[in-house]
Amino acid sequence: MKAVAAFLLVLSYFSISHGWNCKEGPQLSSATQIDAGLGEVVLTDSNSKMYFLSRSAWNRLGTVSLKHVSVGPAGIWGVDSSNKVYKYVAGDFILSNGLYLQQVDAGGLGQVVGVTTSSSIHCLKSSIASTYKEVGTLTWNTLPGGLSYFSCGSQNGCWGVNSGQQIYYTSISPTTCDISNWIHVPGAAKMVEVGSDGSVFVVNESGDVFQRTGISSNVPQGTDWARISVCVSANHVSYDLGNLWVVSKSGIILQCSQ
């Protein structure tokens, strides 16, 4: 335990020198994936259990086993090990029939997006996502292209990465799921997350974390990448309300801010 504390002290000093202050976040054994939105933070562990953060403690979220969970304006959505899609309603996750996804994102302007194991991309209109309250069949819109990870924010559009770790940007209408053209963004990443304020972060195969810079309404795809030194090999990241949440490949949870 002393070794971990000493490591995190070094980590905090190193990160401050690069513009970010990273500290030990509330820990949970075997954390694998984390998502933040609308002031809420949720995560999954290696046993496919979900948790939400209350003050500085993690509490169980629902009874269904899920491998990936996302929170945002569309609510809390997740997928299980069989790629079935669920929404959190009235205290637990309920099944949605009609489409199997390996990853889902609820961070847009009410729409839900996700990708399948074959890299096809799908979008659920905001009107459908918001009114889904009991087990039933959902109709998803299929989008052009192929991605392995897809994430949207409330501002400045959506970002995705494909199986070749190429990065793309587009914008999506939450009411119709119509998209603009895909814009290829230089760089390589295995996952990308968009914050509610439009901030964009990626993790590459080596576990390095980068933030997209130069994002504006005129240039929503940004202009460059800036590396964030977190002193761990990252597995997953998410950003909301000024906090960058990092889960390392070894399960350490960091909370970083500028």
Q: For position 11, what pLDDT does the model report?
A: 43
Q: For position 156, what pLDDT does the model report?
A: 82
Q: For position 17, what pLDDT does the model report?
A: 33
Helix (H, G, I), strand (E, B) or coil at 137: strand
Domains contained in the chain, CATH given: 24-257 (2.130.10.30)
Q: For position 64, what pLDDT does the model report?
A: 98
**Cα-only R_g, the chain:** 17
- Of residues 12, 7, 22, 9, the one with CA closest to residue 239: 22
Q: For position 12, what pLDDT does the model report?
A: 40
Distances (CA, A) of 190 to 165, 232, 234: 5, 16, 11
- Of residues 72, 22, 77, 25, the one with CA closest to residue 209: 22
Which two three-digit tokens encode residue 178?
């119509």
Q: Give the residues across from 78 on adjacent strands.
A: 69, 86
Helix (H, G, I), strand (E, B) or coil at 13: helix
Q: For position 18, what pLDDT does the model report?
A: 52
Residue-wise pLDDT for 15-73, tens only, equals 333 589 999 999 999 999 999 999 999 999 999 999 999 999 999 999 999 999 999 99
Question: Which residue type occupies 245?
Answer: W
**pLDDT in single tens digits along all 258 residues of the chain:** 443 443 444 444 333 335 899 999 999 999 999 999 999 999 999 999 999 999 999 999 999 999 999 999 999 999 999 999 999 999 999 999 999 999 999 999 999 999 999 999 999 999 999 999 999 999 999 999 999 999 999 888 999 999 999 999 999 999 999 999 999 999 999 999 999 899 999 999 999 999 999 999 999 999 999 999 998 999 999 999 999 999 999 999 999 999
Question: Which residue type occupies 251?
Answer: G
Alpha-carbon distance of 146 to 152, in angstroms, equals 16
